[in-house]
Amino acid sequence: MVTALALSFAVIFVAELGDKSQLMAMTFALRYRWWVVLTAILTATTLVHAASVFLGHFLGLSIPTELMSIVGGLSMLVFGLWTVRGDELDDDEASRAGRVGRSVFFAVMSAFLLAELGDKTMLATIALAADHDWLGVWIGSTIGMVAADALAIIVGRTLGRHLPERTIALGAAVLFFGFAVWLIAEGLAGASAPVAAVTIVGALVITAVGVFWIIATNRRRAAEAAHAETDTASDDVTQIAK
């Protein structure tokens, strides 16, 4: 259990660096009491990771360990590419961070529950629980995510929005790629030739699709930034004319 706890803590802590929910944590912490935000995050994370561990644990009972290691490695490759691409808050998530009702706690908790469903940290928890002690994974993944979000809250409240997010994200991506190589190599150690071939092809396809996705996203962001600059310049000209 201790090994599962330590591994889950490390993987989820890395996964959360530069993640969308970490950006949301910083946004909420800039507006509301830090302890309310952190408590809401802890509650949401406990619930989401309990569901993830349940799915992963019972899924892992019916799948060979070698195959789960390969799947986990391919998942880490996806997480690494996802981290290189970077997360961003869409309009709906940004509005949640800027608007609360009567209870800040329930607003933050519901926002994080929705943000984490299907997120890479949830998928990573499922993969870990399939091949490790479920209780250790649940505790470790929960603590790892809360610790990462607590770090975001501290840094966010101290430095505001001026954070080296890209450097942190790239460092996390390198660690994910390292986890991917380690897990895939471990899974292929006793695998048959067909399994090894399918795994290698799968890794190449994932990498190609991920690179294309990253390039397309960067181009879109550059176009949006250029459009925003054009709109700003037009507004300035209009103000001068008036």
168, 145, 165, 170: which is closest to 13 by C-alpha?
145
pLDDT of amino acid 90: 56
pLDDT of amino acid 211: 92
What is the distance between the alpha carbons of residues 9 and 49, in angstroms, rounded to a whole number? 12
pLDDT of amino acid 105: 85
pLDDT of amino acid 101: 44
3-state helix, strand, coil in the chain (%, to 5): 85, 0, 15
pLDDT of amino acid 205: 93
Q: pLDDT (tens digit, 0 to 9) for every residue of the chain, 242 residues total?
A: 788 888 888 888 888 877 777 777 877 777 677 888 889 999 999 998 888 888 777 766 555 667 767 877 887 788 788 777 766 655 555 555 555 445 678 878 887 887 777 677 887 888 888 778 888 889 999 999 999 889 888 876 776 555 566 666 677 678 778 878 887 887 888 778 888 899 999 999 999 999 998 899 888 888 888 887 776 666 665 666 65
164, 144, 146: which is closest to 156 by C-alpha?
164
